[in-house]
Amino acid sequence: MKLFRILKTLLIAFIAIVCFAPNAWGFCGFYVAKADTKLYNKASQVVIARDGSRTVLTMANDFQGDIKDFAIVVPVPVVLQQEQVHVGDPKIIERLDGFSAPRLVEYFDSNPCEVARPRLLMQASPRAAQALGDRAEESALGVTVEERFTVGEYDILILSAKESNGLETWLKLNGYRIPQGANQLLKPYIRQNMKFFVAKVNLEEFEKAGYQFLRPLMMAYESSKFMLPIRLGMINSTSEQDLIVYVLSPKGQTEVTNYRTVKVPSDAEIPVFVKNEFGDFYKSMFQTAYGREGKKATFLEYAWDMGSCDPCSAEPLTPEELKKAGVFWLNSDQSSNVFITRLHVRYTRDKFPEDLMFQETSNRESFQGRYILRHPFTGEIKCEAGQQYKRSLPARLEKEAQTLAQLTGWNIQDIRKKTNVAQTQEAFFWRNIWP
Partner 1 sequence: MILQDARDYQILFLSLFLILGIGTRDWTLRPDLILVVMLTCLVTQWIAVSIWPNFKQNLFNLLPLQENRLRESDSCLANPLSRSLSLRSAMITALSLSLLLRADSYTTMVIAGSLAILSKFLFQASHKHFFNPANFGIISALILTPDAWVSPGQWGDDWLYALLFAGTGGMVLKRVGRWDTTAAFLGSYALLEAIRNIWLGWTWDVYWHRLMSGSLLLFALFMITDPRSIPNARSSRIVWATCIAVLTFILRNQFFVSTAVFWALFALAPLSILLDFIWSAPRFSWLETLPNVFSTSGENELSDANPVNIPKHEF
Task: Give the amino acid at 279.
Answer: G
Distance of CA 155 to the CA centre of its chain: 29
Taking the least distance from each CB to partner 1, the nearer of 252 and 379 is: 252
Query: Which one among 114, 204, 320, 354 touches partner 1, defined by CB under 8 A?
Result: 354
Taking the least distance from each CB to partner 1, the nearer of 179 and 252 is: 252
Is residue 262 near partner 1 by the rule CB under 8 A? yes
For 67, 107, 277, the CA distances from 411, given in Å and listed in that order, are: 44, 25, 15
Is residue 226 near partner 1 by the rule CB under 8 A? yes
In the stretch 144-183, what mask flags binding to partner 1 with x, by CB under 8 A? Answer: --------------------x-------------------
Query: Which residues between 89 and 128 bind partner 1 (CB under 8 A)?
Result: none
Query: Which one among 18, 24, 115, 116 touches partner 1, defined by CB under 8 A?
Result: 18
Is residue 52 near partner 1 by the rule CB under 8 A? no
Q: What share of the chain is helix, strand, coil (3-state, %, to 5)?
A: 35, 25, 40
Taking the least distance from each CB to partner 1, the nearer of 75 and 126 is: 75
| Contact by Cβ (8 Å): 296, 259 | yes
Q: How far is the CB of 252 from partner 1 (least distance, A)?
A: 8
Query: Which one among 297, 322, 397, 401 touches partner 1, defined by CB under 8 A?
Result: 297
Question: How many beta carbons lie within 10 A of that of residue 416, not counting itself?
Answer: 17
Question: How many beta carbons lie within 10 A of that of residue 420, not counting itself?
Answer: 14
Q: What residues contact residue 282 under an 8 Å CB cut-off, 6+ apart?
A: 35, 39, 102, 369, 371
Is residue 237 near partner 1 by the rule CB under 8 A? no
Q: What residues contact residue 396 under an 8 Å CB cut-off, 6+ apart?
A: 374
Question: How many beta carbons lie within 10 A of that of residue 292, not counting itself?
Answer: 12
Query: Which one among 7, 12, 13, 312 touches partner 1, defined by CB under 8 A?
Result: 13
Taking the least distance from each CB to partner 1, the nearer of 6 and 145 is: 6
Q: How far is the CB of 10 from partner 1 (least distance, A)?
A: 7
Is residue 256 near partner 1 by the rule CB under 8 A? yes
Query: Which one among 127, 283, 295, 296 touches partner 1, defined by CB under 8 A?
Result: 296
Is residue 363 near partner 1 by the rule CB under 8 A? yes
Taking the least distance from each CB to partner 1, the nearer of 11 and 209 is: 11
Distance separating alpha carbons of residues 283 and 129, to the nearest angstrom: 14
- What stretches of 83-187 adopt beta strand conformation (E)? 85-87, 103-108, 143-151, 154-161
210 secondary structure, DSSP code:
T
Q: How far is the CB of 328 from partner 1 (least distance, A)?
A: 21
Q: What residues contact residue 28 under an 8 Å CB cut-off, 6+ apart?
A: 310, 311
Is residue 359 near partner 1 by the rule CB under 8 A? yes
Helix (H, G, I), strand (E, B) or coil at 298: strand
Stretch that binds partner 1, among 15-23, 93-101, 141-149, 387-395 (CB under 8 A): 15-23
Distance separating alpha carbons of residues 227 and 430, to the nearest angstrom: 58
Query: Which one among 81, 192, 387, 425 touches partner 1, defined by CB under 8 A?
Result: 192
Query: Which one among 128, 294, 395, 432 touches partner 1, defined by CB under 8 A?
Result: 294
Is residue 1 near partner 1 by the rule CB under 8 A? no
Q: How far is the CB of 333 from partner 1 (least distance, A)?
A: 21
Task: Give the amino acid at 292.
Answer: R
Taking the least distance from each CB to partner 1, the nearer of 143 and 356 is: 356
Q: How far is the CB of 168 from partner 1 (least distance, A)?
A: 13
Stretch that binds partner 1, among 143-151, 253-261, 280-288, 417-425 (CB under 8 A): 253-261
Find the length of the chain: 435
Helices (H), 213-354: 278-292, 319-324
Distance separating alpha carbons of residues 393 and 373, to the nearest angstrom: 14
Distance separating alpha carbons of residues 407 and 281, to the nearest angstrom: 9
| Contact by Cβ (8 Å): 233, 239 | no
Query: Which one among 4, 20, 429, 434 touches partner 1, defined by CB under 8 A?
Result: 20
Residues contributing to the site for partner 1 (CB under 8 A): 10, 13-14, 17-18, 20-22, 164, 184, 187-188, 191-192, 224-226, 252, 255-263, 294, 296-297, 350, 353-354, 357, 359, 361-365
